[in-house]
Chain A
């Protein structure tokens, strides 16, 4: 039934080390970020609910990894990264962005402190080439080694309220004591209490061979549902987590996206800091908001957001019928005058205009285990 298999085999997109397993499971495969990735195995709703209620596993081997080591590693990370890693304990993880000097976003990423002057950076698949080139351009004057490791690492995300027991019992990886946003090395693998779903969960980085064996164990255990990128997007969206390309871009700064808390303006310097200081002082022309619609029609990326007079004042960045709360909602970048809570806004969906209002852009509460 998988009619596209041959086309996919012949395509230019890269495959992860689990590609054959996805096809064998009958996944709907589609290009994402330069890779052929599983969008869904059964259906998005069931996979979404499995992660909210039990446990799901995602192949996220398409994500990129870069290791920064050397005497100036911390100084270099502080220079290219908006969050503050100074004096962090080993194992601590930080979320933040790399910015252009004008405050636009190169990428959002996780930075793992693996040791003194030893950092592990996890970047978005679609941005790997751009990010690595950008990072290399910024190395002048720093005594560091930049090691691009994306082709070595596979990555699994085990997510959901049962993730902890599944990782411990099925994979035999001790993780109970691992705190939120920390990591540890177990043999040749890195395991962290992180994720992109709003649930408790773990991300596990290892060789392709390890990743394949761990995936097989998880699937064969029957305690962990294979989940595709379709529900990864619905899960991250409804807890208000941004996706680069939708909520962040070269034109969307973290201040516009409401992510200032991950940009430490009290740091001595980082690329883009001056632009953010200026944006905080003088305001930004557009802001990211949540919009909840009265009706059930679904606002999608790129649809126009209108004010009560029918003038376009913004654009939808991501929208769904939110599965966990049964409402049609979206995130949208709108003119700052329209960003206040409860402001009436309208979304043009095909030929019709649907009424809504500004709400918090977190449509469902996160359930992290901290």
Chain B
């Protein structure tokens, strides 16, 4: 069964964001990694790239398929999780501990458009 972590905000396309001050750590939910199966490659942006809420910033490749990563917020990439370059399977081991990019938020009000954990759970069970 998929795990759900409290205190995060979730998008309909199964990304999460953990907000710390003006920064947010973006990754995919445990539900998403289950659905994807074995992750074999993570296509990530570069530091200083701009991301836009609702737009694609990379992709997660499983054996089955490539799935676009959609940014839940707008901002500037300040860090990418380089560990995923060589060990993409970390997303299967613990999707919440292994964020994909760290972003400096340009419009924190966008967070209000995202779901809390209860709403996201309901979304997954629809």
Contact = CB atoms under 8 A, between A and B. Distances in A.
Interface of A: 3, 39-40, 43-45, 48, 230, 234, 296-298, 300, 320-321, 323, 328, 349-350, 352
Contacts of B43: 297, 349-350, 352
B40 interface: yes
Interface in B61-97: 61, 63-66, 88
B9 to A, nearest CB: 24
Given A321-B40, A350-B66, 13 more contacts: A40-B37, A45-B37, A48-B63, A230-B63, A234-B63, A296-B41, A297-B41, A300-B65, A320-B63, A323-B63, A328-B41, A350-B59, A352-B43
A3 B123 CA distance: 12
Given A297-B61, A300-B66, A321-B61, A45 B38 contact: yes
A44 B64 contact: yes
Interface of B: 37-38, 40-41, 43, 59, 61, 63-66, 88, 126
Contacts of B66: 298, 300, 350
A352 B66 CA distance: 14
5 contacts: A45-B38, A296-B41, A298-B40, A321-B40, A350-B66
A44 B37 contact: yes
Contacts of A352: 43
A328 B43 CA distance: 14
A328 B40 CA distance: 10
A3 B125 CA distance: 8
A234 B40 CA distance: 14
Contacts of A48: 63
Contact of A43 (B38, B59, B88, B126): B38
| Pairs A-B, 5 closest by C-beta atoms | A321-B40, A296-B41, A44-B63, A43-B37, A45-B38
A283 B61 CA distance: 37
Contacts of A349: 43
Nearest to B2: A1
B64 A230 contact: yes
Nearest to A303: B66
A296 B64 CA distance: 15
A179 B66 CA distance: 40
Nearest to A1: B1
Output the residue of A234, A321, A323 with the most chain B CB within 10 A. A321
Contacts of B59: 350
B64 A298 contact: no
A234 B37 CA distance: 14
B96 to A, nearest CB: 20
Nearest to A43: B37
A243 to B, nearest CB: 16
Nearest to B92: A43
Contacts of A40: 37, 64
Nearest to A296: B41
Contacts of B61: 297-298, 321
A230 to B, nearest CB: 6
B80 to A, nearest CB: 14
Contacts of A44: 37-38, 63-64
A296 B37 contact: no
Contacts of A43: 37-38, 63
